[in-house]
Each structure stands twice: as structure tokens, then as C-alpha cells.
Chain A
Amino acid sequence: MSNHDYIVVYFDDEVPMKQALVRLTEKKERIIDVRTPFPVHGVDRILGMKKTRIPIGGFILGLLGAVLIFVFMSWCFVVSYPLIIGGKPYFAAPSFIPNTFEITVLFAGVSMAFAFLIRSKLKPDIRFRPLDEKITDNMFVILVDVNGGNTTAEKIREILSDIKPVEIRESEVKNNG
């Protein structure tokens, strides 16, 4: 994503921002992104975002981890180097359960965290510059696509004339910020 022109609409509260979002989607404006200082409920619904599949990935990898570690421990204690410890049988299934459980949780948790970072393209980058430093503070921002020149700041101002955003400007966005 290199230089794109967006219309950036600023709000200082989430209520008018949501109203504006509904209005803009009704008017079929293409919303590139919504940026907020905290997760605002209802935004995913309005934007029609699909639910993430991270939990499914976590579940599958958790099960994979469980099977792997259980089979591994069984192999160690039955095939590789069988030992009788404390009178327990070689295949000491109840003993293997605690370890299996822990590895399940480990695999599930680590995979979900990494899936989250990778899917959201979040990585440490000292050259990162955010779009506006007030977004993480108290500004709620909607990024509207210029749509090849069809959408302008004036047009947006007209559509949102009664909602009164704090600011509307045209912006060039570089470096994913």
C-alpha cells in the first residue's frame, strides 16, 4: 500500500462517529478503515466485517499439540526407553494427562497470538508513523476512499452536515500509518 488519497473524518466521540458510519455506508461510500482509541462496539457490524477465524486456528493447533505430546510421551515410555517407575504401567495414561493439557494450552495460545500479529500485519518497526497521534488518545477517525475523485471532502461534509465531525481533510497516507 503506497500513496493513496483518503478523506479523513475526525470525531471526538464514538456516538457521532457511529452515526456518520451508518450514514456513509448508506450513501455507498467506500470506507477504507475506522480508527479508534479503544474498540467501539457495533463498528464491525456496520462495516460488515467477517468474524475472524483465529479461534478456529487456535482450537485446531491446540488439538494438534495435545495429540503430538501424548503420542510422544507414550512413545518414550513404551517404545524408546520403557521404565517402571513407582509401579506404574509403561503406558501411564493418567500421568500423561497434565502434560498433554499444558501443551494444548501452550500451542493454542502461542498460535493465536502469532495469528493475530500476522493477520493484522503488526510488527516492530521503528520507522512507523501513525496517521494521527490523537487517534490513540481521544480521536475517532473514519477513512473514506476517494474513489477516483468521485468523493471529496466537500461531499462528505454535506452528507454529514448534521452530525458535525471535528474535522474533515484530504490526506495522503504513506507507510501504512
Chain B
Amino acid sequence: MYQSPIRKPLIEGKKTYRDISDQILAPMINRPKKSWYLGILISGSAMIFGLAMMAWTVWQGIGTWGENRTVGWAFEITTFVWWIGIGHAGTFISAILLLFRQRWRNSINRSAEAMTIFAVICAALFPFIHLGRPLLTFFIFPYPTTRGIWVNFNSPLVWDVFAISTYFTISLIFWYVGLMPDIATLRDKLSRGFKKTVYNFLSFSWKGSARDWHRHEVTSIMLAAIATPLVLSVHSIVSTDFADSILPGWHSTIFPPYFVAGAIFSGFAMVLTLLIIARKTMGLEDFITVEHIESMNKILIATGSIVALAYIAETFMSFYSGVEYEHANLMNRMTGPYRWAYWIMIGCNVVSAQLLWIKKLRTNLMFTFFLSIVINIGMWFERFVIIVVTLHRDFLTSSWTMYKPTIVEYGLIIGTLGIFFTAFLLFIRTFPVISIFEVKSILKVETAAQSNKNIRHE
């Protein structure tokens, strides 16, 4: 298919199909670098610390956390929403960009989708441990109980259960269906041995038959088609955890799409954090080019702007609504004891993201890397501001209190970061980080695009 000559190439260097297989499979076949060992040492330690804190919570009880009667939800649900949000970028890249035919997704969708799965796992830990009696987790699933009662289908918390279970299942299926042909490539590259047997098993006897490819393509597009509304619905349902209440600052009709935009925003930031490092350490700069980084930055500025618009709408409505509690809530956020959290949020989410209008910054990897971390910090604070700052000043002034987090809670956040990065580091050693067959399918067009240098804008 013809491509306008002003488009930049998505693959650099003159490559053959074999080059693509070899370069992408190299990390699975070769020994890991020192940087990988260092990475897994750090993330592994964080993970173990976190798991210890989780065990301590389950053993000793929720009293080990800093929640009190006024601030009943704090760090844990903030981090839960934060992780679910991060997961959304993977599905956005895999599904929505596929439907919009954005070819630059081909080299980043595999790792983004894996990131989604790990993020959802990290998120799902929180409902489990914050139940007080985690062994009774099965209560949240609708099964015929001996007491005759059913789950409260009216509750957004139950909607969460349905949404996150579905999201995890579909993400896993989508990821694995896409992975099968690449596992077959890996299987065929390896010579005899245990590894080969394992990959042979995991490849589901994939043989590259045209009929199978046809079904594979159709299934992928259909999974993308249903995963797209899933991206919207999951984080909307998570937002209804707050929006379905009647608390000022929480009860706001804009929450569903606003949370979804914020989720994609933080998710893309995390993808950038991971891939800027991975492309360097794994030698994949020819596949994840500056063009890819710039495209992801454009999504960042789009979603960041939508989040900013939502802030404007919320701020305006606090005044316009005439509800004195809404007004008080906003004033508290801006000028109250937690104003530092609010202004960190504005600085990290609104101001910093708008810097990406400048092309020089959009194409600068160092800037993008630091910005992506800043954005994720900002997005964590956004949920903190929405949750803790709304709760801590109750309707009764005698209930007003401050929230004091404990070391256990900090440990949980560090722990989930540890789990996430450990899982990702293990992933890059066991499965191809880039979708091999999808990159091969665009090789011809992109190699042709490389020779259009003189026609392009820059």
C-alpha cells in the first residue's frame, strides 16, 4: 500500500526478514547483560519487601495501615486505581491503534500488552489484601450461598470485580494469541533442548499456514474491537467507585471519561519509561525509533490536554454549581493542608505535559524519560488528591483529620513496583518483546520510506 513520502520510516537500517527474527530473539537466546542482573536485583528486593508487607497486613490486620474513620480509603485504593490506569495503555496500543491502522504500534504492542497484564496483577492484589479477611475473597463472586443472599450487583465495587476479571482475561488472551506465531519463531530458532521443548509446547503447533493466518488476523481484529470498549468501560467502572457516591468532589458526571483519559495518559508514560530503557539495553533502537517515541508523546499531550480540560470543567462547576460544599472542597484542595499534593498534581500533569508541544522536546529521549516518570508521579497524586483530600475534611468539622501513612503502606507501593518491574524483566528474557511477524509485515513499506529523506519536512 502506498505511503506518503513525508512519513518517517518506522524501521531503521537495511534489514532482511531474518535480521528481524535474529535481532528480536537475541535476548532470549543470549546470556543476560549485567544491567539485567542489576535491574532484577533492585526490583526483586523491592518485591520481596512488598510481599513481606502484604503478609504482615494479612497476618496482623488492616490496623497496620494508616486509615482512620474519616479517611477510610487512602494509599491502597490510590495505588490500585493508579495500576489499573497504567494497564490501559497496553490495550490502547494493541487494540485501539490497531483499529486506527497506526502502523507504529507494531513494534511496541507486545511489551505494552505484557505491561498491562503485570499492571492488572499488581492492581488486583489490593482488593485481595484490603478485605481484612482475604481468605473470604470468594464472597465477591456471585455463587449460590448457603444464606441465600447474592452479591450486591448494585455496587460499583462488584462492577469492579466483573470489569477487572474480564479485562485481565481478555488482555491475556489477546496477548497470547498475538504471541503464538512469535513463540513458533523462537521454537524454530532454538536447537534441541529443554527450552525448545517448552516453547514447542507453548507455540500450540503453529505452522504458519495461510488459513491459520487468516483466522488469526480476524480473531486479532475482533479481539481488538471488543477490547476497545473494554478500555473505556473498565476505568469508567473504577471511577464509579467514587462518582456513584454523593460526596462533593467525588460525585461528578465527568469522572468516567476523565479517568479513562488519565489512565491512557499514565499508561503511555509508563510504556515510555520501560521502552526508552529497553530499546537501549536490548539493542532495539532500529525497531523502536525516535518516531515511535514522538508518536507516543503526541498521545501523551492529547490525553494530558483532555485531563487538563477535565480539571477546568471540575473547577468551573465547583463555582457554578452553587453547592457550597463543592466550593469548599475545591478551596480545600487548592489552599488547605494538602495543597502541596494538589499543586504537584497540576505541575506534573498539566504544566509538564504541555511542554510536549515543542518538537525538540518531543524527540528528546532524556527529556521524555524524565517526563514520563514525572507524569506517573503526578497521576498518583491526582488519585491521592481525589481520594484523601476529599475525605479528610468531612461534613462534621469534629471529624476533620489528617492522614498518616505507615511504613507498611509505603512498602506496599514499593512492593507492587517491585513485582511489576521484576515481571517485566523476566518477560524480556522469555518472550519476544517486539511482535516479530507484525514488524516483518511492514518491512517493505518502511524500508522504502527510508529513501525519502529529501522529501520530508525535516
Contacts and interface: CB of A to CB of B under 8 A. Distances in A.
Interface of A: 33-40, 43-44, 47, 49, 51-52, 54-55, 58, 62, 72-73, 76-77, 80-81, 83, 85-86, 88, 92, 95-96, 98-99, 101-103, 105-106, 108-110, 112-113, 115-117, 119-126, 128, 130-131, 133-138, 141, 176-177
B216 A123 contact: no
Contacts of B158: 99
A-B complex: 6 closest residue pairs judged by Cβ atoms:
A138-B17, A133-B188, A38-B437, A39-B213, A34-B210, A122-B204
A122 B18 contact: no
A103 B162 contact: yes
B17 A108 contact: no
Interface in B199-254: 200-219, 222-223, 226-227, 229-230, 233, 237, 240
Contact of A88 (B148, B154, B188): B154
B194 to A, nearest CB: 11
Contacts of A73: 153
Interface string B154-173: 11101100110110011001
Given A37-B440, A130-B188, 14 more contacts: A37-B185, A38-B181, A52-B214, A52-B215, A58-B226, A73-B153, A85-B154, A98-B237, A102-B230, A115-B219, A120-B215, A122-B204, A136-B185, A138-B17
A123 B150 contact: no
B16 interface: yes
B336 interface: no
Contacts of B207: 35, 130-131, 135, 176-177
B438 interface: yes
B274 interface: no
Nearest to B184: A136
A43 B170 CA distance: 29
A122 B230 CA distance: 27
A109 B169 contact: yes
18 contacts: A35-B207, A37-B17, A43-B213, A44-B210, A52-B214, A54-B215, A81-B150, A95-B153, A102-B159, A105-B227, A106-B166, A109-B223, A116-B216, A122-B212, A124-B201, A125-B204, A130-B188, A137-B21
B197 interface: yes
Nearest to B198: A126
Contacts of A85: 152, 154-155
A135 to B, nearest CB: 5
Contact of A49 (B155, B170, B214, B223): B214
Interface centre among B188, B202, B222 (most CB of A within 10 A): B222
A120 B211 contact: yes
Contacts of A54: 215, 218-219, 222
A119 B148 contact: no
B222 A33 contact: no
B177 interface: yes
Contacts of B152: 83, 85
B22 to A, nearest CB: 9
Contacts of B206: 122, 136
Contacts of A115: 219
B170 A105 contact: yes
B189 interface: yes
Contacts of A86: 154
Given A37-B437, A39-B437, A137-B18, A102 B150 contact: no
Given A76-B153, A105-B166, A109-B170, A35 B201 contact: no
Nearest to B169: A106
B127 to A, nearest CB: 16
Contact of A136 (B154, B156, B188, B215): B188
Contacts of B149: 81, 83
A103 to B, nearest CB: 7
Interface in B288-339: none
Given A52-B214, A76-B150, A109-B173, A102 B219 contact: no
A37 B17 CA distance: 9
B180 interface: yes
B406 interface: no
B61 interface: no
Given A36-B208, A101-B229, A80 B214 contact: no
B202 to A, nearest CB: 7
A122 B214 contact: no
B13 interface: no
A36 B229 CA distance: 32
A102 B163 contact: yes
Contacts of A81: 148-150
Contacts of A134: 188
Given A103-B166, A105-B229, A138 B177 contact: no
Interface in B408-458: 436-438, 440-441
A38 B437 CA distance: 5
Contacts of A83: 149, 152
A148 B148 CA distance: 68
Contact of B222 (A58, A98, A120, A128): A58
Given A34-B210, A85-B152, A112 B219 contact: yes
A62 B225 CA distance: 13
Given A98-B159, A103-B162, A106-B169, A33 B215 contact: no
A123 B205 contact: yes
Interface centre among B18, B159, B214 (most CB of A within 10 A): B214
